[in-house]
Amino acid sequence: MNKVIKDIDQALLSYPLLKRVEEEGFVRVIGWIPLLHPEQGEFDRYNVSIRFPDIYPRCFPKVIETSKKIPRKDFRHVNPDQTLCLAVEPEEKAIVKNGIRFKYFLDKVLVPHLARETFREINEAYPDGEYAHGSNGVWEFYESVLEVKNRSLIISELESIIFSKWQSRNERCNCGSGKKFKKCHLEKWNRIMKSGREYILEKIKELKIDIDEKD
């Protein structure tokens, strides 16, 4: 816990409107996060309460937007427990695979997410699209990365990523694109692998069950 507190306190040097508190033996960070334009200054701000699960830093901190500016709807990326859904699961797993620093989380995950929510409130759409919640979001992630819609083919390719011997970088890709593997599926497979072998094996099992239940 001392290591986590040191990590938190280091990050808060860059966020003076946030503070660390202890509530019933649990560490939280509460306060305001201003959204700043490099030329125009502050354009919005959100009040937040952030807690740190036992497995942090190998997961995102859990964030509740306490100013309640974001509607409590799943299409606005708010979970049933009021925490913000900050990334589709495979992306989060890739980011936290080797642990995450709290400042990185604030700078690269939470602040951009809040900025997207402000954009959504003004423009009624997110600037760069979005993934669905739950297993549908996981499917959409793999569909996007692998550029495949057929879900059975997605599972087959995930199994190839895990169990097959990968091609040489300079061989023609087996997909038939005519490109070298390094210019085609190598990049896609590497992106998938960022979430870790154990996670992908877990998802293969879950996605197979999901297909069976919908047949």
| Contact by Cβ (8 Å): 58, 73 | no
Domain identity same for 7 and 107: yes
Same structural domain, 49 and 143: no
Whether residues 209 and 162 fall in one domain: yes
> Is residue 23 very low, low, confident or very high in pLDDT (cuts 50, 70, 90)?
confident
Q: What is the CA radius of gyration of the chain?
A: 20
Listed residue (98, 99, 107, 95) closest to 14, CA to CA? 107
Are 66 and 166 members of one domain? Answer: no
Domain of residue 146: give its range: 134-214
- What is the sign of the dihedral through the CA atoms of 78, 80, 82 and 87? negative
- Whether 128 is covered by a domain: the verdict is no
Among the candidates 60, 92, 123, a domain finishes at: 123
Q: Quick check: is 201 in a domain?
A: yes
Percent over 70 (pLDDT), the chain: 99
Is residue 26 over pLDDT 90?
no
- Domain membership of residue 190 (yes or no) is yes
**Contacts of residue 143, Cβ cutoff 8 Å, sequence gap at least 6:** 149, 154
Q: Could you tell me the pLDDT band of residue 211, with boundaries at 50, 70 and 90?
A: confident
What's the mean pLDDT when you consider all of the chain?
Answer: 93
pTM tops 0.75 = yes
Burial (CB count within 10 angstroms: exposed 0-12, middle 13-18, buried 19+), residue 69: middle
Q: What's the structural domain count of the chain?
A: 2
- For range 77-82, the mean pLDDT: 92
Sign, Cα dihedral of 7, 10, 14, 17:
positive
pLDDT digits 0-9 by tens, 118-166: 999 999 888 877 788 778 899 999 999 999 999 999 999 999 999 999 9
Contact 117, 33 (CB under 8 A): no
